[in-house]
Amino acid sequence: MTPDDVAILRCPESGRPLTFDGALDRRGHLARGRLRPQGGGEGWAVLAGLPRLYREAWIQGPDRFMRRWFYDAVPRAHDPAVRLLLPLFQGPRETEDHLREQYLTRMALDDLPTDRPVRILEVSVGTGANLPRLRARLPKGVQAQIWGLDLSAGMVGRLQASGRAGDARLLLGDAHRLPFATASFDRVLHVGGINAFADAGRALAEMARVARPGTPIVVCDEQLDPGRPHGLGHRLAFKAVTFYDRNPHSPVDRLPPGAQVLADEQPSRFFYSLTWQMPG
């Protein structure tokens, strides 16, 4: 992240613009220091090039549990588990690649403008498995900045070590309080976390706020396909992977007022894909 990138950041407490006070690395990227709200305030640490734009006291309930015992504890296990367990639990044709291609199609990247730079945000970017796929799908002539936010330092550390980050702008933050200016992004994506959020409605409202009007917002997480039969093994496996949620389902009922549903689909046995937007 460069000092110029700080222009779209906002204090997640006050909403005020931020300024960087600290050291840059040899590439001219933020290295260490603080992001301070204009007009004064405690600010937010930047450590090893990674802004940390959340307060630990905000993280409660399922968010804290999942971060501590899964995302921070065993980040190396995440990608192999997804790759191996999806076809094992769902069926041999319902692989990780199959699922990701289905929801990424809904990003409508071919419709991005080419006459100006665009920004794409992945909320809960995790280990960054979507980032290479997003880059590969960008049409020729599109100048895109990719941003990734996550609450888990363990997962983002794994992303950085994997080499997937490339030139993506990464930061630690809370999906319930996205630290960005309103209408900053041309596409917004979230995969695999919202069912465990403390307040899914608030997180969806934040995604809507930071997206430009008319922007496709794609949200994907667990839901047992209501349109087909499931054996006992499928039901037990689904219960095991969604133990933290009493009713895992597509959050159409939690969308902000005025939201327009573009597609509410079931690309695989265990996962929904919800595409929506706020009116332009």
pLDDT tens, position by position, 116-168: 999 999 999 999 999 999 999 999 999 999 999 999 999 999 999 999 999 99
Q: How confident is the model at residue 243 (pLDDT cuts 50, 70, 90)?
A: very high
Residue 84 has pLDDT above 90, yes or no: yes
Identify which of 76, 72, 191, 75 has the alpha carbon closest to the alpha carbon of residue 130.
Answer: 191
- Mark out the alpha helices in 130-231 (DSSP H runs): 131-137, 153-162, 200-210
What is the CA 39 to chain-centroid distance, rounded? 30
**Model pLDDT for residues 247-271, shown as the tens digit of each residue:** 999 999 999 999 999 999 999 999 9
What's the pTM? 0.97
Please write the tens of the pLDDT for every residue from 155-214: 999 999 999 999 999 999 999 999 999 999 999 999 999 999 999 999 999 999 999 999
Instruction: Give residue 61's pLDDT.
Output: 87
Taking only the tens place, the pLDDT of each residue in 89-118 is: 999 999 999 999 999 999 999 999 999 999
The C-alpha atoms of residue 272 and residue 269 are separated, in whole angstroms, by 8
Query: Which pLDDT value is given to residue 280?
Result: 80
Domains of the chain are 3-53 (no CATH), 59-277 (3.40.50.150)
Under 8 Å between Cβ of 15 and 176: no
Percent of the chain residues topping a pLDDT of 70: 100
Predicted local distance difference test score (pLDDT) of residue 201: 98
Residue 99 φ/ψ, nearest 5 degrees? -65, -45
Please, where are the H alpha helices in the chain? 61-66, 75-90, 96-105, 131-137, 153-162, 200-210, 232-241
- Of residues 18 and 62, the one with the higher pLDDT is 18
Q: Classify each residue of 156-192 as buried b or exposed e, where b means 16 or more C-beta atoms within 10 Å of its C-beta.
A: bebbbeeebbeebbbbbbbbbbbbbeeebbbbbbbbb
Neighbours of 137 (CB within 10 A): 14
Residue 225: pLDDT band by 50, 70, 90 thresholds? very high
